[in-house]
A and B are shown apart, each in its own frame.
Chain A
Amino acid sequence: MGEDAESPKINHTFLRDYVTEADVISTVEFNQTGDLLATGDKGGRVVIFQRETDSKGESEEVGETGDSGEYNVYSTFQSHEPDFDYLKSLEIEEKINKIRWLPQQNAAHFLLSTNDKTIKLWKVSERDKRPEGYNLKDEEGRLKDISTITSLQVPVLRPTDLMVEVRPRRVFSNGHTYHVNSISVNSDGETYLSADDLRINMWNLGITDRSFNIVDIKPANMEDLTEVITAAEFHPHHCHLFVYSSSKGTLRLCDMRSSALCDRHTKLFEEPEDPGSRSFFSEIISSVSDVKFSHSGRYLLTRDYLTAKVWDLNMDKGPVETYQVHEYLRSKLCSLYENDCIFDKFECVWNSSDSVIMTGAYNSFFRMFDRETGRGVTLEAWRESSKPRAVLRTRRVYSGGKRRRGDVGVDSLDFTKKILHMAWHPSENIIAIAATNNLYIFQDRVNPETQLQ
């Protein structure tokens, strides 16, 4: 099973491996219903996919959802352009770091997209009718000669081909000195937060010229800097709570009711370091690259370089579950440091019932862990091995012990094929995996709906 939702194939196989830097997908996000899927890339473009629905009247039985599960391109637009900070003589990349959908309130859809410095609110709306029969203009919009008008008519709306319009509604600029790494929409529907390396700001969706700074970890003397903010997210239900992760591997839960400036955390989640496993790269591999609240709001999921951890909000002494994503890389950290792979920031996601977590790895592999059994499975997002509708087979990385057929050796892993970004449908077992410049959408046909426990 699977569908390759990439752009139309070209008939030049020798070009297949050539990837334009601008086409590399940098973020993936489903909206709240799962009907829309947005991707952002390094070139500053956003592509929105919409889920296909079966035509009405065709064998629609009671109980069927009517969705075929296929996603097609809905709209494409240029969200951010390369920019230049003249004061600091720095180029600002147009790469889309994050996209977050707003809860839908009317027929239009809204999403926030951000690059390193600027956050933009986009309105995505459909138009399938257009007015016809103007008195002063003709069909092409040219002004008519008044002398030819002999009667008055009332313009009417006639159906036309579907047109998707995307317009920028707000631009939230000049809020960040450092590179924005996260945005998160509050459950109150009115505010959202944006986090950079040292500060977190809270914005009102309707106000662009002001934001509140709610976290500031910049030291008075930059020489005393020891950690940076790596990710931040609002609690899914409590509009006063948010969490942010740091490069030191700690999580801080903050309550905005306690003070205006949340520099002092309400709760600190930290796992004591094992002194026996200390190495040159201990600080790097303990840096948290992503943090996500569970849908229930009870748990936190974090990803550092080698592991994924589940934390209980009620227990700050350490994670309740730890999953080894690719422990076989621990002895390769020196090489991974040389080729910069050790700085890769992997994302992690929950499924809709919070029973399964998923995260990416190298060699186009991604991993899913069942929280109940604690078992993990390795899957591959690669064109050659997954044809549409084919069943994904599990893969294994051989790192000692009995070698099975099909196992991949650690030294054969392709570290240029990394799965950093992914998303899980909010209610169904459909996942979107970004592999460099390709987007893979996989659906579980056996259990399409997630069973709620």
Chain B
Amino acid sequence: MISTMECAADAQSLISISLMKIHNSRTQRGGIKLHKNLLVSYVLRNARQVYIKEKYAEIYRMQQYEEVMTVCNEIQELNPLDLDAEDAEDEEQAAAHARTSSAIFGCSPLDDGSKEPDPCYYRSCCMEPSPVPHCDQFTANNSSSSSSHCNKTTVLDLDTHVVTTVENGYLHQDCCCCDALQCGQGARSPARKRKVEFSCCVSDVEDVSDFTAARKRAKREDCCYSNIDYTDTSNISNLISIFGSGFSGLLSRQSDLEQICSKQVLASLGAWTRAIVAF
């Protein structure tokens, strides 16, 4: 567990610094130093994990707010809702995301009851062969998808007006990439997430929902850190395969969903990442 002192902002700068180091090592005298680059790739992996975790948390917070807004709009006449300062900021984003997601899917998120799963979101996203078109919208999908999760129970506390999503005792956090497929998952390692994505996309649409639901249930009890050995290896292998094929490896593997996930994460980090990737 990375110390909670390191926040996502540090993770972003670490990713940037690490990529620069790896890039600079190519022109260093004496050739690429294997040991140093291996250590840098570990930092990159750790930073990436923290960054994704923070992203999930942010998305979850936005989701929760969206649910609150949705429910409170319906019971507006009972009590006005008190918004926190940070919720006010999220409100604009959530509203914007709600609008864009409704434009894509033709369904109004506001119509989504917090209790009814919405199969139209689920299947339509699963039919997409690649989540690339959704990469800019994945947050939108997340924000509107929470209520379409078929296994969760959403509880509104009428006294405190807090909306809680509970799944067999576990608070629910959506995976940013899986939500492109409307497969809400518990907080998991990126390697497992990518596996589910891939298998989701090649399966039948009907099978997908059952398959992913089953995997979700199986995974829910998994602590992501119990699989740390496997994910360590696969993460390192993915990173090293990226670096081994040059920075073009970050962009060229369009057909490989695992790399798309990396690309999504990196693309979302902003213009500075694109500048480095463009070398």
Chain A residue nearest to B32 in the complex (CB): A90
Instruction: Assess A91 versus B6: contact at CB under 8 Å? Given A222-B240, A223-B241, A275-B1.
Output: no
Q: Tell me, in angstroms, the Cα distance from A268 to B238 when the chains sit together.
A: 28
Check if B201 is an interface residue, CB within 8 A of chain A.
Answer: no
Q: In the complex, are the beta carbons of A280 and B38 less than 8 A apart?
A: no
Residue pair B47, A280 in contact (C-beta under 8 Å)? yes
- Contact of B43 (CB < 8 Å), options: A85, A277, A283: A283
Which of B33-65 touch A at CB < 8 Å? 33-36, 38-39, 42-43, 46-47, 50
Q: Would you call B204 an interface residue if the criterion is a C-beta within 8 Å of the partner chain's C-beta atoms?
A: no
Residue of A nearest to B18 (CB): A337
The yes or no answer to A197 lying at the interface (CB within 8 A) is yes
Q: Is A92 on the interface with B (CB-CB < 8 A)?
A: yes
Minimum CB–CB distance for B17 against chain A, Å: 6
Give chain A nearest CB distance to B232 CB in angstroms: 7
Known: A88-B31, A91-B29, A280-B6. A223 touches B244 (CB 8 A): yes
The secondary-structure label for the interface of chain A is: loop
CB-contact partner of A224 in B10, B29, B30, B233, under 8 A:
B233
Among the interface residues B6, B34, B35, B36, which one has the most CB atoms of the partner chain A within 10 A? B35
Which chain A residue lies CB-closest to B45?
A283
Contact across chains for B2 and A279 when beta carbons are under 8 A apart: yes
- Tell whether B79 is near chain A: CB-to-CB under 8 Å: no
Chain B interface: which size bin? Answer: 20 to 34
Chain A residue numbers with a CB within 8 Å of B46 are: 279-283
1/0 per residue, CB under 8 A from B, across A263-285: the answer is 00000000000010111111110
Contact B30 A228 (CB under 8 A): no
Give the interface residue-count category, chain A. Answer: 35 or more
Q: Which of A85-139 touch B at CB < 8 Å?
A: 85, 88, 90-93, 95, 116
What residues on A are CB-neighbors of B3 within 8 Å? 277-279
Task: Say yes or no: B30 contacts A92, CB within 8 Å.
Answer: yes
User: A415 contacts which chain B residues (CB < 8 A)?
Assistant: none
Q: Which 10 A-B pairs have the closest CB atoms?
A: A223-B237, A283-B42, A93-B30, A90-B31, A280-B46, A197-B34, A284-B39, A223-B241, A228-B35, A223-B240
Contacts beyond the supplied A223-B237, A281-B46: 17 A-B pairs with Cβ under 8 Å:
A91-B31, A92-B30, A92-B31, A93-B29, A95-B30, A116-B30, A179-B35, A223-B236, A224-B236, A278-B1, A279-B2, A280-B14, A283-B39, A283-B46, A287-B35, A337-B14, A337-B43
19 contacts between A and B (CB under 8 A): A90-B31, A91-B30, A92-B30, A92-B31, A178-B34, A179-B35, A197-B34, A197-B35, A222-B240, A224-B237, A228-B35, A247-B38, A247-B39, A275-B1, A280-B2, A280-B11, A280-B14, A334-B10, A334-B14
